[in-house]
């Protein structure tokens, strides 16, 4: 399949190779500059979705646009993003309108819309995540089309996705999707900002998210309407990849964008590097962590060989976590290495950092566990 994908990026998202697909639609595509829904264009997207459904592909939609739509109705400045309170009020008003539009357009194609509003916590807490996954699976089994958005009205600054790109990647994982398509007002990832650099070239396929690739994101949204930007899209690609999901950024400015993508190609496809399964994939996609464990070069090498993280290779413990909490593991220069479930509370971890196993009992006052983070509860990113 990888050969076919390299020949035509869009092939990875065809119903033949992708049984469940997440399609994310950005605010700047869905809402025009006056704050009204671009209904005709959206009807084209829905027609594309109906075709894919008829070909046997299950579709989950991630729809932005609540804040932009609500801002117009409430006459809020800066597209409703001047303050968190404005955004939350705008989302409350706009989400009603957004749901109505989806119900009408999907209904016209004989499809049933199902609204699912999520907060970051719903996907970061393992039990709630499994609950979301079960609900989405049931909706798809029943033939409905889940339409997801962040529950912006109740999400607070510290605990929100803030962009629907990462929400789409995470939801793709919860939905058991094999592909995520981000319909965007850019047609892919460029080597430099195409607006200011004439030598900028689109990258059709990214096989590995190297630091060079990550540095290509300019971070700005073109329209100023959504909050995604290329940086969020690359983080979404990273998250999707860790869960074994292919992700494409593709041009949503054309009519019938999904058909256009499958026929003409284009965009940027991110190939999943490895398919982590279940609990490990969930762990890799966690955004919030309770603490950070810094390790030395020897431990970096051991972790890359698949070993558990031993206290002897730990140089620093930050944060106030409990045994079982998710912690970030970083290398000597602070570079992200992975995530794991802490085997000790932070204070005990601090007490034994740098110590070999035979020295730990005296410090702890009890027999030490085999590892600070066991390999079974650890995932490298
Ligand atoms: N959830 C936001 C909305 O519906 C959009 C987030 C984003 O711009 O990605 O307006």
Q: Which pLDDT value is given to residue 69?
A: 95
Q: Provide the pLDDT for residue 281.
A: 77
Helices vs strands, H then E, count in the chain? 15, 13
Give pLDDT, residue 162. 79
Domains along the chain? Answer: 9-281 (3.40.1160.10), 289-380 (2.30.130.10)
343's CB contacts (< 8 A; 6+ apart) are: 323, 369, 371, 372, 373, 374, 377
* Ligand 1 center to 295 CA (angstroms): 37
What is the structure's pLDDT at 255? 97
Whether 164 is in the pocket of ligand 1, judged by its Cβ within 6 Å, is yes
Question: How much is the pLDDT for 218?
Answer: 61
Question: Which one of 227, 228, 235, 249 would you pick to mutate in the ligand 1 pocket, going by the greatest count of ligand atoms within 8 A of its CB?
Answer: 227
* Residue ranges of the chain whose pLDDT lies below 70: 1-8, 157-158, 218-228, 274-277
pLDDT the model gives residue 370: 80
CA 179 to chain centre: 12
Q: How far is the CA of 368 from the centre of ligand 1 (A)?
A: 47
Measure 117 CA to ligand 1 centroid, in angstroms: 12
Handedness of CA 341, 293, 336, 313 (dihedral sign): negative
For residue 180, the surrounding DSSP H or E stretch is strand 179-184
* Sequence-ordered list of residues with C-beta below 8 angstroms from that of 122, at least 6 positions apart, any chain: 128, 129, 131, 132
């Amino acid at each position: 399949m990888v050969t076919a994908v390299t020949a035509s990026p869009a092939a990875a998202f065809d119903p033949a190779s992708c049984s469940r697909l997440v399609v994310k639609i950005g605010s700047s595509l869905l809402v025009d500059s006056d704050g009204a829904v671009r209904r005709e264009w959206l009807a084209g997207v829905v027609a594309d979705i109906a075709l894919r459904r008829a070909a046997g592909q299950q579709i989950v939609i991630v729809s932005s646009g609540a804040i932009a739509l609500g801002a117009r109705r409430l006459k809020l400045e800066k597209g409703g993003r001047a303050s968190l309170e404005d955004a939350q009020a705008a989302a409350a008003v706009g989400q009603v309108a957004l749901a109505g539009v989806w119900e009408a357009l999907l209904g016209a194609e004989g499809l049933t819309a199902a609204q699912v509003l999520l907060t970051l916590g719903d996907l970061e807490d393992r039990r709630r995540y499994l609950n979301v996954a079960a609900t989405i699976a049931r909706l798809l089994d029943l033939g409905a089309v889940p339409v997801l958005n962040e529950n912006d009205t109740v999400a607070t600054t510290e605990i929100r996705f803030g962009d629907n790109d990462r929400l789409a990647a995470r939801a793709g994982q919860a939905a058991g999707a094999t592909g995520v398509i981000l319909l965007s007002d850019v047609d892919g990832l460029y080597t430099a900002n195409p607006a200011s650099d004439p030598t900028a070239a689109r990258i059709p396929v990214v096989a590995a998210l190297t630091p060079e690739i990550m540095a290509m994101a300019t971070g700005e949204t073109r329209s100023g309407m959504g909050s995604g930007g290329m940086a969020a899209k690359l983080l979404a690609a990273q998250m999707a990849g860790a869960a074994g999901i292919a992700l494409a950024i593709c041009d949503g400015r054309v009519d019938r964008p999904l058909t256009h993508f499958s026929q003409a190609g284009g965009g940027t496809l991110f190939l999943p590097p490895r398919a982590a399964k279940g609990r490990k994939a969930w762990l890799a996609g966690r955004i919030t962590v309770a603490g950070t464990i810094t390790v030395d070069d020897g431990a970096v090498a051991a972790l890359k060989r698949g070993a558990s993280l031993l206290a002897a290779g730990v140089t620093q413990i930050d944060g106030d976590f409990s045994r079982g909490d998710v912690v970030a593991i970083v290398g000597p220069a602070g570079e992200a290495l992975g995530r794991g479930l802490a085997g000790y509370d932070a204070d005990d971890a601090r007490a034994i950092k740098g110590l070999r196993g035979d020295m730990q009992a005296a410090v702890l006052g009890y027999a030490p566990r085999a590892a600070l983070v066991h390999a079974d509860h650890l995932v490298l990113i």
